[in-house]
Structure 1
Amino acid sequence: MTNCKICKSESIRQLDDLESISYKGSVLSISMEYSICNECEREFVSKQQILNNDSRIRDAKKSVDGLLTSTEIYHARTSMELTQEQASLVFGGGKNAFSKYERAEVSQSVAMDKLIRICLKHSSVLQELLIGAGIKRELTQVTYENNVIPYPKFKAANQSQFKTVRSIDLTKDVFYG
């Protein structure tokens, strides 16, 4: 907890207010944190509140720029089942890059943003990058056979020729056509 630097009181209220910021022709309303001493009514912003406010501003600017926000980067990384360290190996950007992106400490480049989005849409691209980074992962491809509803009353004439297939393990993508 923060103490008031004037009266040394520990009785501090933490508040949020919307602040308008102009960015690239847009007006952004951002919730900003600050504190007020209950004893001497001094208003101040703590170091942690400054960091939180900077992160909120950075995320709001990323939204205007069409980039993934820190939360969206976190969800993208976890949906690809990557640790922060693995994501840095796969996408580049340095050892602590994804930690900084997810804390909104820094903004990712447009190229990094595009690469993350492409990997979310195209698992074969992610698989290629994983191989390039030396990360081995077995892919399991779910087939439509898992979604077949059995009709025991009726049997196809050639039903005995077919085996039930649950999934196919792939070590690399195969393209046809």
Structure 2
Amino acid sequence: MKKQLCPICESGFLHSEYELTEVEHQGIKGTIKSYYSVCDGCGCEQANATDARQNKRAMIAFKKQVQGLLTGAEVRKLRKQWQLNQREAARVFGGGPVAFSKYEADDVMQSDAMDKLLRLAAEIPAVMERLKSLSGQAF
């Protein structure tokens, strides 16, 4: 991985760090890792784009947990169990061509309806087969 030059002092390099941060969603408190970068030259702390993306994903994963939704890892496991790639899964379940990429990476939360549909298809194989046939795709 290429070292990133500090945009503040322009002589030091940024190193990724994290701290545990207390968060709250729907009245439930929890702790997530909050990422930031520290310059080895001037010591300034900042959140770059990568840090911000990791922080967003950690918060969305926490929200999924609080709301009882499947985690990104669980969605990925189901999709692989069904032997579908992300694009095929989106055709079967809806949500757009990159929906499963976003669900699995915890970039977005799937709707309650999508979560229920995924669970139903996992629980009842005939539901999955019917969804595949309704998609009009050959798998």
Q: Above 0.5 in TM-score?
A: yes
Tell me if the contact between 1:88 and 1:95 (Cα under 8 Å) persists in the aligned partners: yes
Q: Which has the higher contact order (CA 8 A, sep 6+)?
A: 2
Give the equivalent residue in structure 2 for 1:8.
10
Number of paired residues? 137
1:6-63 superposed Cα distances (whole Å, 9 cap, x missing partner): 1113432211111001111111100111111111110011111101110110011100
Partner Cα distance (1:16, 1:60) in 2: 16
Amino acid at match of 1:95: P
Instruction: Give the aligned CA root-mean-square deviation in angstroms.
Output: 1.2
- The 4+ residue runs of structure 1 with deviation greater than 6 A are none
Alignment check: 8 A CA contact 1:2 1:46 kept? no
Q: In structure 2, the residue corresponding to 1:16 is in which secondary structure?
A: strand
> How big is each residue's C-alpha offset from its partner over 1:56-105, in whole Å with a ceiling of 9 and x where there is no partner?
10011100000011111111111111111111111011111111111222
- Please, what TM-score do these two structures have when normalized by structure 1? 0.74
Determine the C-alpha separation between the residues in 2 that align with 1:101 and 1:14.
Answer: 25
TM-score (norm 2): 0.93
Structure 1: tracts of 5 or more residues without a match:
138-177
Write out per-residue CA displacement over residues 95-128 of structure 1, whole angstroms, 9 at most, x where no aligned residue.
1111111122211100000000111111110001
Q: Distance in 1 between matches of 2:86 and 2:67?
A: 24
**Greater C-alpha Rg:** 1
Match for 1:23: what amino acid?
H
Distance in 1, matches of 2:29 and 2:45, equals 25
